[in-house]
Amino acid sequence: MEDLFSIRHSSLEIYHPPMAATHDIVIPQTFTFGEGEPFVLESGATLGPVTLAYETYGRLNADRSNAILIAHALSGSAHAAGYHAADDARPGWWDECIGPGKAFDTDRYFIICSNVLGSCYGSSGPGSINPATGRQYGLGFPVVTIGDMVRAQVRLVDYLGIDRLLCVAGGSMGGMQVLEWAARHPHRLRAAIPLATTARHSPMLIALSEVGRQAIYADPAWNEGNYYGNGKKPDAGLALARMVGHITYLSDESMQQKFGRRLQAREQYGYEFQTEFAVESYLKYNGNNFTRRFDANSYLYVTKAMDYFDLSQPTGSFAAAFAGSAAIKFLVVSFTSDWLYPSYHSKELVRALHAVGADATYLDIESTWGHDAFLLEVDTMTRLLESFLDRLADEESVAIP
């Protein structure tokens, strides 16, 4: 593999802190390719070198048959579980499902999670340095697709010496990556778990994405994407985009339960244009907090990739997209209160899978949590994922490492 790609790579080992530590300390890793021959994107543009940030949990077994790739959602990162330091306040974004004895049991499986191309958590994106100029790419970074993100992940999996993944799993945009793996690289995985996702964005979803992008464009500090090093970022626009997005992750019922019409830090209306309701305060907090950890240009690139995603193209048929996927076992999950990716998206997907003879199990889970249910319904998801993976591992005779 060294002959095929130019690679910089740090250790695969996870450091286990001694004695009283209760959590594994995870070492972030990077993988770089495309230094000699640039990576060709779906648009025809080229990019090189390309770096992916990633983390691993657990150990590969002897025949490398126990690897599971976790794909993250829009604002996620490679840090899916564990801690980077003993004093970290919070673990990785899916820590409740990844670890010893959890749904993705690291005593049994080797878990990989990489930050997607175009993001801002260590992988190549608009905030990365363009080697040709010595400055951040900004909008000079080429537009990427879900397909580009997945082909970069294929390069990473190749480097790790894994011919075939036991499973690829993820929710929301992560689910799109799962479907891309299954449709375009079916010989590289045994099973797929797309959660709360879609095989293509509807007009409403594209519209919601565009509102978020327009909020960023309208912020004077955005400056056509040239804000790096200026001392001022388009935080107002990015915060507003996140507020709009955050509404879509919830549901009417969950917002009623969580906030109702309660006032925040006051007992009566102020009859003024200030933050008065608890739900207003919640959105404002989450929007502002998001600007501390995410890049506005990356938000543009990743949401655009989601809008471009459409597995029915070029044939016009989802079934045609999965024609080579009949050997893959699917667990498709939707949630009854998810209005961002309503259940009909998953049902349409399952019909296509059944049409090609794929082994597809579908569950529409009753939940009030909306789109975020795949992260919040921990007990339900643990039972479901554990059962599916146990059956899969037994059928595939996967050895414990």
From CA 371, how far away is CA 334, in angstroms rounded?
A: 9
Two structure tokens written together for 214 = 């327009």
Catalytic positions: 172, 338, 371
pLDDT at 19: 28
pLDDT values of the chain reduced to their tens digit, one per residue, 401 residues: 222 222 222 223 333 333 223 357 999 999 999 998 999 999 999 999 999 999 999 999 999 999 999 999 999 999 999 999 989 999 999 999 999 999 999 999 999 999 999 999 999 999 999 999 999 999 999 999 999 999 999 999 999 999 999 999 999 999 999 999 999 999 999 999 999 999 999 999 999 999 999 999 999 999 999 999 988 999 999 999 999 999 999 999 999 999 999 999 888 899 999 999 999 999 999 999 999 999 999 999 999 999 999 999 999 999 999 999 999 999 999 999 999 999 999 999 999 999 999 999 999 999 999 999 999 999 999 999 999 999 999 999 989 88
From CA 77, how far away is CA 210, in angstroms rounded?
A: 22
Q: Are 95 and 80 in contact (CB under 8 A)?
A: yes
From CA 149, how far away is CA 41, in angstroms rounded?
A: 9
313: left (phi over 0), alpha (psi -120 to 50) or beta: beta
Q: Are 290 and 75 in contact (CB under 8 A)?
A: yes
List beta partners, residue 170: 71, 194
Q: Euclidean distance between the first and final Cα of the chain, in Å?
A: 24
* String of DSSP letters for 271-316: -SSS--BHHHHHHHHHHHHHHTT--HHHHHHHHHHHHH-BTTTTTT
pLDDT at 231: 87
User: Which 8-state DSSP code applies to residue 244?
Assistant: H
**List of domains in the chain:** 29-200+309-395 (3.40.50.1820), 206-302 (1.10.1740.110)
- CA distances for 124 relative to 66, 131, 142, 275, angstroms: 28, 12, 11, 37
CB atoms under 10 Å from CB of 36, counted, come to 10
From CA 144, how far away is CA 136, in angstroms rounded?
A: 17
From CA 247, how far away is CA 242, in angstroms rounded?
A: 9
From CA 92, how far away is CA 218, in angstroms rounded?
A: 32
From CA 150, how far away is CA 344, in angstroms rounded?
A: 25
Tell me which residue of 199, 202, 210 sits closest to 244, measured CA to CA.
210
From CA 143, how far away is CA 118, in angstroms rounded?
A: 8
The helix (run of H) or strand (run of E) holding residue 47 is strand 46-47
Q: In what order do the strands lie in the sheet with 191-195?
A: 29-33, 50-57, 110-114, 67-71, 167-171, 191-195, 329-335, 359-365
pLDDT at 265: 87
* String of DSSP letters for 361-395: EEEEE--SSGGGHHHH-HHHHHHHHHHHHHHHHHH
